[in-house]
């Protein structure tokens, strides 16, 4: 049996030499701060470039520029959805070459991945401190490959349905808090809303060569960060031994609701059929499914999950 190893404490890395900052102008936090890209460009100066993007195609062009110019660091300014499209574009641009270092300049509404990396603050201040640091802090972490996309957080069934409900209502931290309380209340009361979110869905699951057969899953997530939602350490073993934390349940809403405190705190949850560090997993859905990567939604019937080689993620300076 593999011994459990926790994530190492952050190390220090060489000073940023040349940086490419990719700004998603469609992200909620960026839209609320007009002129942010121009201010970031002034901070970068001669140390690199800043590109404003509005489409996935423009993100791909910016990633190719970063690869051609061989920047040592890429800054991603946007929300969780920005992360998956930018990381996927970087993976496509560099192919088999080494990854640049990554830093998240939170510019979204919720910024779940960024909060895991203590990067939920002001993007300008973060960037300025990073560029002025002789020894920036760095954490080596795998990323999560989902078919041909790369991100931090994956979820299907319950996770994807919650995101659909979130985007259909009030967005932002208050909207997320309201939805969370509504879900818990519905699960406790056993009303139709929770039942619809956790309606079972058949999936054939294989994890690192182990065949779990076909399960009637009500919720499944896989992450390389500890908290798939801000403050909820449901995947607290993410990154151990270079793997991702995979958790899945077939339990009904009421059973999960009774353990929501343990799920939130990152404690052992008895309702989970699968709860382990993994490196590869295959999910086959006979009727197709809706799934989420870093806050963006996709559809498919066959999903291959794998942990990438560790990537250096630069963390905000503590001042």
State yes or no: pLDDT of 97 exceeds 60: yes
Give the span between the Cα atoms of 13 and 48, in whole angstroms.
18
**Residue 93: its pLDDT value, please?**
97
Determine, yes or no, domain membership for 144: no
% of the chain exceeding 90 in pLDDT: 62
Mean pLDDT of 63-92: 95
Determine, yes or no, domain membership for 76: yes
State yes or no: pLDDT of 259 exceeds 50: yes
Determine, yes or no, domain membership for 216: yes
3-state secondary structure (DSSP) of residue 16: coil
CA separation (Å) from 24 to 52, 86, 188, 203, 282? 6, 9, 39, 34, 31
Q: Does 178 or 306 have the greater pLDDT score?
A: 306
Q: Does 172 or 108 have the greater pLDDT score?
A: 108
User: Which of 63, 98, 132 delimits the end of a domain?
Assistant: 132
Total domain count, the chain: 2
**Residue 76: its pLDDT value, please?**
96
Q: Which residue has the tokens 């989420």?
A: 292
| CATH code assigned at 169 | 2.60.200.40
Q: In which band, very low, low, confident or very high, does the pLDDT at 189 lie, cut at 50, 70 and 90? A: confident
The DSSP code for 39 is H
**Residue 82: its pLDDT value, please?**
93
CA 260 to chain centre: 21
- Please check whether residues 158 and 299 belong to one and the same domain: yes
| CATH code assigned at 68 | 3.40.50.10330
**Residue 283: its pLDDT value, please?**
98
**Residue 4: its pLDDT value, please?**
41
pLDDT digit string, tens, across residues 29-40: 898 899 999 999
Give the span between the Cα atoms of 197 and 183, in whole angstroms.
9
Give the span between the Cα atoms of 101 and 18, in whole angstroms.
11
**Residue 7: its pLDDT value, please?**
53
pLDDT digit string, tens, across residues 133-171: 999 999 999 999 999 999 999 999 888 888 888 777 776
Determine, yes or no, domain membership for 317: no
Mean pLDDT of 116-143: 90
Q: In which band, very low, low, confident or very high, does the pLDDT at 319 lie, cut at 50, 70 and 90? A: low
pLDDT digit string, tens, across residues 304-316: 999 999 999 999 8
State yes or no: pLDDT of 24 exceeds 90: yes
Mean pLDDT of 70-96: 95
Determine, yes or no, domain membership for 180: yes
Please state whether beta strands 149-151 and 48-53 pair in parallel, antiparallel, or not at all (unpaired).
Answer: unpaired
User: Phi and psi at residue 12, in whole multiples of 5°?
Assistant: -110, 150
Mean pLDDT of 108-114: 79
**Residue 9: its pLDDT value, please?**
67
User: Which of 100, 132, 164 delimits the end of a domain?
Assistant: 132
Please state whether beta strands 149-151 and 244-249 pair in parallel, antiparallel, or not at all (unpaired).
Answer: unpaired
The sign of the torsion formed by the CA atoms of 34, 38, 43, 47 equals positive
CA separation (Å) from 125 to 44, 132, 179, 242? 12, 11, 31, 31
- Please check whether residues 96 and 190 belong to one and the same domain: no
Q: Considering the entire predicted model, what is its pTM?
A: 0.90
User: Which of 98, 132, 166 delimits the end of a domain?
Assistant: 132
**Residue 318: its pLDDT value, please?**
63
Mean pLDDT of 216-224: 94
State yes or no: pLDDT of 209 exceeds 90: yes
Q: Which residues pair with 220 in a beta bridge?
A: 156, 248
The order of strands in the sheet holding 11-12 is 11-12, 137-141, 311-314, 101-106, 73-78, 19-24, 48-53
The token duo for 243 is 């793997």
- Please check whether residues 175 and 253 belong to one and the same domain: yes
Q: Lowest-confidence range among 101-105, 128-132, 176-180, 198-202?
A: 176-180
The DSSP code for 148 is T
CA separation (Å) from 317 to 18, 121, 133, 143? 18, 11, 8, 22
Task: Tell me which residue range forms the domain holding 107.
Answer: 17-132
- The whole-chain average pLDDT of the chain stands at 89
pLDDT digit string, tens, across residues 271-312: 899 999 999 999 999 999 999 999 899 999 999 999 999 999
- Please check whether residues 126 and 251 belong to one and the same domain: no
CA 74 to chain centre: 17
Count the alpha carbons within 13 Å of 119 in the hemisphere toward its beta carbon.
Answer: 33
């Amino acid at each position: 049996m593999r011994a459990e190893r926790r994530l190492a404490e952050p190390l220090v890395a060489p000073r940023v030499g040349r940086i490419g900052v990719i700004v998603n102008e469609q992200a909620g936090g960026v839209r609320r701060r007009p002129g942010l890209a121009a201010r970031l460009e002034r901070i970068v100066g001669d140390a690199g470039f800043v590109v404003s993007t509005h489409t996935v195609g423009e993100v791909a062009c910016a990633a190719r520029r970063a690869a051609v110019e061989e920047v040592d660091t890429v800054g991603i300014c946007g929300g969780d959805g920005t992360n998956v499209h930018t990381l996927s574009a970087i993976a496509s641009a560099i192919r088999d070459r080494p990854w640049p270092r990554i830093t998240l300049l939170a510019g979204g509404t919720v910024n779940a991945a960024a909060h895991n990396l203590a990067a939920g603050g002001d993007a300008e201040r973060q960037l300025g401190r990073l560029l002025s640091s002789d020894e920036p802090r760095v954490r080596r972490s795998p990323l999560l490959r989902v078919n041909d996309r790369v991100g931090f957080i994956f979820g299907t069934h319950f996770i994807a349905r919650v995101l659909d409900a979130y985007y259909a209502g009030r967005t932002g931290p208050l909207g997320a808090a309201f939805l969370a309380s509504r879900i818990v209340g519905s699960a406790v009361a056993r009303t139709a809303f929770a039942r619809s979110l956790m309606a079972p869905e058949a999936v054939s699951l294989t994890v690192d060569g182990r065949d779990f057969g076909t399960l009637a899953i009500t919720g499944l997530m896989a992450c390389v960060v500890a908290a798939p939602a801000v403050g909820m350490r449901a995947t607290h073993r993410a990154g151990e031994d270079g793997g991702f934390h995979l958790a899945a349940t077939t339990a009904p809403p009421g059973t999960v609701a009774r353990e929501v405190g343990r799920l939130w705190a990152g404690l052992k949850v008895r309702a989970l059929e699968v709860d382990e560090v993994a490196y590869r997993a295959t999910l086959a859905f006979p009727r197709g499914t809706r799934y989420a990567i870093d806050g963006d939604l996709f559809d498919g019937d066959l999903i291959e999950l794998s942990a990438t080689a560790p990537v250096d993620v630069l963390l905000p300076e503590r001042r």
